[in-house]
Structure 1
């Protein structure tokens, strides 16, 4: 009798676990919430409607969310176009305005009036006006048996027609993106504002507190925020930078809640997540965490050690390489967490069990079995075939990405190709433009000594990690000529004219024919060409052929999963830098045995981590003073200052700067990170340890008001 009772109870428990997992996982398209998610969201505590989140007929939450520079998210928090995003999202802009004499990275920046707000060339903010399903029209000419290139050509033709016939305003743009591995297509009508100015940023000792040690780590105590403003022409439309532009009057600005959050409170994160691959087969997940992540971590680990050693010794190098170091370290640490998280949650085992259930359901359905028989086995087999090529691709990518001399060589080669296409008569004009760009971008933050030492380490790892069969041609000859020694090769490479702006300018200021002849013999350019040719011939071409087959099978497998699990599971599309909403609850977690993490941190924790003079854990004197006096104004709670909190929202890169919203759609925090153990959520979301990390909005306001004294910004906002 006991067994008869236990079995149904266990089934119910499993169903409840499945439901809980389902309730917090997913990056959902906002225009589909009313049909897919609204009921569940309200059951979890949401007090607003799907129409309050996404509407094309009235101002809604989506009208306050922007893609910030194409790499982060930001939100409008005042009726004067004030934007809130992360400090690390604004870091590059803050850095460009910094110098040894006026170091905004170290000291912070606060514009005391509109006139003091700083322009940022190339920075933009994009709003989503509306989203439409164009799948039927996009796939109209797709026929069974088409090759991948034929299929894509047919789709591209239809997409061009859709763009031409879609109604929009003259200042608006159209973006069409594939979803579900190309089984569906959605169109986005957008508005992009290109005059975005820096308004305020705390010093890095607040905005980057904990720096690399605490990156991807909980508990966190980082005030990771910065403020910008969108400017428009006097007609309110997007316009290029002009001193005559005015602050944007937005369709919607977020209301800010001063209430904070408590455990199990409903939360939403609204933004532009970059890339996830949740529907990969087991072999792909295994390859990612056991082979590819390991290769990338190895390369970046070596580069970071070199940069760190120089940054600690030289203040100028610290400024030059601050953004580069942060960018390199970000995914280096993420990949390590991903490997550990998949292992901790038995992610590969979960995939195998999922595939077993998929196979069982498939075999129970004769029609689907006939359609998809052998598909999953074939896909896993192709991933096995692709492994050595994919591993070499990642080694190559990390080498050329982290040795800046190779970047410079690629830029010079592209410039010479441009001149060749335009004609030698255009050389002088193109040269001046190219040199100006190199001076203001590449060479402004370049140090050849640092780069030289990075090249030694990475060339050595590349030649150890990449199979000899993939290192052929002229590249192999150059390596052999330098005694198979990265140190000897680096010595030769860094005699290049590309190691400084002045040396490059001297070469290019010669007559065109002379400059071309000298650059042809430049060691860095010769090596970059040899390296690229070796990669293209030995790896890229065969990889492309295999990848096309993988893409085709992956698309079919995506559709197969939706067909096989129809009525049993909802499928959200993988992230692809389009507007999404994810929802969950404020919650603690236990990442490993005997370790339990609470869901809130306070300013007390900042002071506990404080190390005077340390580049990661120093604390500004004024913040210490405010803490000692417990002078938190209206932002503290019971004598404590909240700093950060966590929840089970499913986020990824691109969600940095996204607003954390409460059940009423009010701003309660600013998303900026994930817990290290949960970074594997890009391929293996697990509600037990996947947590996103947010700055409490009250800490943001406290820093703006009590620390910076920038009350003019507080006065713009609507505080509840």
Structure 2
């Protein structure tokens, strides 16, 4: 039966590969590896039109979304769409920045936002964009002469050389640089970026449209989400200590994407250009099994419980809806992703498929004594590491996912440990102590303004119990073991009693504690039952999880690195995929429908489907007041169905959110925002018959700007 299933998969692959090319490809290497296949798929441009350092090309219109602390480590993608610094990205990648400006009086999440003029644009505080200026293969420069060195000596020499190369690349300019590793360090690239620090919000649709269908439709197809946001980039200040432009002038980007409103048809070429996060194409069967049995299994159990608490809170009133909307979206997104990954792994029978790959690898290794001496220990070494990680990965899930990040309170309480450390010293530094007290007053204000204490207590109650049920006493905080005995397993009462005796019981009590704090008051903090419980999660993580996990993962990493190197050697002369690593990549394929569970779905969704969903379930598929009327009017006036979203078999992953989707001539036709559920297995194994990336049609973006946000001036600017 297994052989028949694998044969079927291979047959499907051979057919589907005509329409899709597995992988997220390095743009500077397209001419060498991909351009011929891209042309066969329908691409009309040259490799230099996509990436070139000597002329303006598509690369120059693509940006990554980072933060002040990590400006070139990207969590999303975007693209310049006008000469006046407009950037298009996803609603869900930047909604947290709009959330900071929202209140009950100005509920931009529920109502959407549009700046009528540049003066009304809202600063996206903390958001930084970056454009790749160039990338350069520096493998030989870094690795030459390192073959005979020990691991430590080799690492030190490579780091020294990398610092010299990046420093030289920054001479005489304002660019930021980094060196990225590919294929287990066998290929290394210097990346040079122009960083934009002054980013402002121009337009975002209401949450009901940006995330139409909410969690019900997440990771599913068909979709009708208007998942877009429009930003504007302003010129960086010459003073690096200032975040915003003194001149207050938008930049004129090196390049911006040409807009196409002509649409597409089934089978048309599509290309996604952005900064995918990470993929794990070379995980072994044992590592995939660990994903199934440990990481995703327990992660789902924890986040299901978390979502129940969040949904109950948000249903109570508008204030709690606003406070927990962003937290709900982040919690749900990963939860549904884990569930979809499991479905894809099962549907693909991925564990057994990986075992077949390992059999091929082992046969290659055994084909010569030299290969055996070099690589025979790799797979047994990986399997040993994975086996030892099983317990520690499960514990990590409960300590971090159910403990430190179970809600928002534990991490908040943990911020008081520095006060404990400063005040406990024999000779207290008064200047540092006062600075810490001022910092904590801000933290207290931020926490109580952002979250609800009763909801946070419910997180604690739920996850203390869940931790107790799923983790052995050896790995539990002593506080949980004691509470189970003292309270007969009634953890709700334990938490209630702890808060009744705690200075964390209210904003007022915490502020009074900080206002009148003296060195002697440190005992009040260390004896506080709530602080004691919260701190215990960090101590378990420090003593039992972090170090041990890091040690085994470091050992695993060495084997995995050699596995990547061996695969590259085994497939010498073939196109081989480099796992995504938050660097600029191109993926390409065709706009094509999908068959799932015996049902066929078209490649395009329409406004008609949005209305049908809204009429069947107006709560789940809510739309703003008046929007349904505007849609119905547009449907009646249009001679053809009005598209909302479409799918293609381009290979994407997290980080591709906000990536532009381009047609055969490099024109903007859509905006990547999601994947169809079973296709999420593509992070582990790309399968053209399962994998579909979902994009909002650029015509629907403009429809929402016109009919919901009334953004006439913006539409005139963006042509």
Q: Which residue of 1 aligns with 2:677?
A: 676
Contact map agreement 1:632 1:641 (CA 8 A) in 2: no
Q: Which residue of 2 aligns with 1:3?
A: none
Give the root-mean-square deviation of aligned CA atoms: 2.7
Which of 83, 93, 96 lines up with 2:97 in the alignment? 93
Measured in 1, the distance between the counterparts of 2:584 and 2:485 equals 50
Q: Which residue of 1 aligns with 2:299?
A: 296
Task: Name the CA shift for 1:53/1:216 in 2 (closer, same or farther; >3 Å).
Answer: same
Task: Name the CA shift for 1:73/1:494 in 2 (closer, same or farther; >3 Å).
Answer: farther
1:366-405 mapped onto 2 (5 Å cutoff): 366-399=369-402, 400-405=404-409
Contact map agreement 1:427 1:512 (CA 8 A) in 2: no
Contact map agreement 2:136 2:190 (CA 8 A) in 1: yes
Contact map agreement 2:483 2:491 (CA 8 A) in 1: no
Which of 443, 447, 451 lines up with 1:446 in the alignment? 451
Q: Which residue of 2 aligns with 1:284?
A: 287
Shift of 1:417: 4.7
2:415 counterpart of 1:411: yes
Contact map agreement 2:98 2:108 (CA 8 A) in 1: yes
Contact map agreement 1:609 1:617 (CA 8 A) in 2: yes
Contact map agreement 2:13 2:687 (CA 8 A) in 1: no
2:232 counterpart of 1:226: no
Q: Which residue of 1 aligns with 2:535?
A: 529
Secondary structure at the counterpart of residue 416 of structure 2: helix
Contact map agreement 1:419 1:430 (CA 8 A) in 2: no
Shift of 1:249: 0.4
Measured in 1, the distance between the counterparts of 2:419 and 2:257 equals 45
Q: Which residue of 2 aligns with 1:667?
A: 668
2:55 counterpart of 1:64: no
2:494 counterpart of 1:489: yes
Secondary structure at the counterpart of residue 657 of structure 1: coil
Over residues 297-356 of structure 1, what are the superposed CA-to-partner deviations in whole Å (9 max), with x where a residue is unaligned?
100000100110111121110000000000000010000000011100111121111111
2:110 counterpart of 1:106: yes
Measured in 1, the distance between the counterparts of 2:648 and 2:312 equals 36
Secondary structure at the counterpart of residue 17 of structure 2: helix
Task: Name the CA shift for 1:465/1:150 in 2 (closer, same or farther; >3 Å).
Answer: farther
Contact map agreement 1:168 1:189 (CA 8 A) in 2: no
Q: Which residue of 2 aligns with 1:162?
A: 165
Contact map agreement 2:487 2:493 (CA 8 A) in 1: yes
Shift of 1:189: 1.2
1:683-702 mapped onto 2 (5 Å cutoff): 683-702=684-703
Structure 2 residue ranges without an equivalent (≥5) = 1-6, 67-73
Q: Which residue of 2 aligns with 1:28?
A: 25
693-702 or 402-411, which deviates more: 402-411
Which of 180, 185, 189 lines up with 2:188 in the alignment? 185
1:266-665 mapped onto 2 (5 Å cutoff): 266-399=269-402, 400-414=404-418, 417=421, 423-440=429-446, 442-471=447-476, 476-477=481-482, 480-495=485-500, 496-498=502-504, 500-567=506-573, 569-592=574-597, 594-611=598-615, 614-630=618-634, 638-665=639-666
Task: Name the CA shift for 1:439/1:162 in 2 (closer, same or farther; >3 Å).
Answer: farther
Measured in 2, the distance between the counterparts of 1:584 and 1:427 equals 58
Contact map agreement 1:172 1:190 (CA 8 A) in 2: yes
Count of residues paired in the alignment: 701
Task: Name the CA shift for 1:84/1:476 in 2 (closer, same or farther; >3 Å).
Answer: same
259-268 or 541-550, which deviates more: 541-550
Contact map agreement 1:470 1:539 (CA 8 A) in 2: no
Shift of 1:21: 7.7
Shift of 1:470: 2.2
Contact map agreement 2:277 2:653 (CA 8 A) in 1: yes
Measured in 1, the distance between the counterparts of 2:117 and 2:318 equals 30
Q: Which residue of 2 aligns with 1:132?
A: 136
Contact map agreement 2:298 2:394 (CA 8 A) in 1: yes
Contact map agreement 1:208 1:616 (CA 8 A) in 2: no
Measured in 2, the distance between the counterparts of 1:96 and 1:407 equals 19
Task: Name the CA shift for 1:527/1:621 in 2 (closer, same or farther; >3 Å).
Answer: closer
Secondary structure at the counterpart of residue 74 of structure 1: strand
Task: Name the CA shift for 1:612/1:676 in 2 (closer, same or farther; >3 Å).
Answer: closer
TM-score calculated relative to the size of structure 1: 0.91
525-534 or 554-563, which deviates more: 525-534
Secondary structure at the counterpart of residue 626 of structure 2: helix
Shift of 1:281: 0.9
Task: Name the CA shift for 1:81/1:415 in 2 (closer, same or farther; >3 Å).
Answer: farther
Task: Name the CA shift for 1:529/1:310 in 2 (closer, same or farther; >3 Å).
Answer: closer
Shift of 1:704: 1.1
Measured in 2, the distance between the counterparts of 1:323 and 1:299 equals 18
Contact map agreement 1:233 1:244 (CA 8 A) in 2: no
Shift of 1:629: 2.0
